[in-house]
Amino acid sequence: MDQEGAAVHRPEAMSETAGYSAVELMRDGRRVEIRALRPDDRAELLAAIGRTSTQSLFRRFFAAKRGFTDQEIEFFLHVDFINHVALFAVMEEDGRPAIVGGGRYIVLQPGKAEVAFAVIDRYQGQGIGTALMGQLAEIARAAGLRELIAEMLPENIPMLKVFEKSGLRLSTKREAQVVHVVLKLF
């Protein structure tokens, strides 16, 4: 960490994060892998978006999203694991792995990144959001970040619960249609 609290950019930390993988147990006992996004995840990512409800997409993007442009998809996939870190939750479905959720952070300024999450509806409430949050927070802390921020809709109780269960110091500020969340990593 430098004097202004910026992340120390260690190339070895980037490649460690790019190869990240951990197995967690969901609430119903099934296994879910939390792993780093891979460059060849495009088709699986599109499939996961296609399985996510309009309401969940609205809560994630604050807009009625019916589809995404190629540019948006490239942005989701173009992750450098320093300023933009993305993890996917992967489940075995019919004998093959499927992306069922994801979480990412994007560094906005030295020491501070914005986090966002989405889990496809049929897998919500199984602890995947909590697992993604915990692992992203660990990666952010190891990268020397000080603070994670998020914006969420006021009615988004599951997201608030995930933030509360992270164990990080949390503060919230409500504005008209949005709640600003600040989580302290140190």
> The sheet that has 169-174: what strands, in order across it?
21-25, 31-36, 84-93, 96-109, 112-119, 147-152, 179-184, 169-174
Report 146-175 residues binding ligand COA (CB under 6 A): 150, 152, 156-159, 161-162
| Shortest reach from residue 17's CB to ligand COA, in Å | 20
CB closer to ligand COA, 12 vs 28:
28
The stretch among 10-18, 33-41, 120-128, 141-149 that binds ligand COA (CB under 6 A) is 120-128
Beta bridge partners of 169: 184
Contact string (CB under 6 A) for ligand COA, positions 58-87, x = contact:
-xx---------------------------
Beta strand 84-93 pairing with 112-119: unpaired
Rounded Cα distance between 19 and 36, Å, is 6
Pattern 33-62, ligand COA, x by CB under 6 A: -----------------------x--xx--
What CA–CA distance (Å, rounded) separates 160 from 167?
Answer: 12
Q: Which residue has the tokens 């609430």?
A: 27
Judged by beta carbon, residue 17 or residue 126, the one nearer ligand COA is 126
Which residue, 36 or 148, has its beta carbon nearer to ligand COA? 148
Smallest gap, in angstroms, from Cβ of residue 6 to ligand COA?
A: 24
**Closest residue to ligand COA, based on beta-carbon distance:** 129
67-76 contact pairs (CB < 8 A, 24+):
73/42, 73/45, 73/46, 76/45, 76/104
Pairwise CA distance, residues 54 & 66, whole Å: 8
Structural contact between residues 156 and 59, judged by C-beta atoms closer than 8 angstroms: yes
Indicate whether 126 belongs to the interface with ligand COA (CB under 6 A): yes
Q: Binding residues for ligand COA, per CB under 6 A?
A: 56, 59-60, 116-119, 124-130, 150, 152, 156-159, 161-162
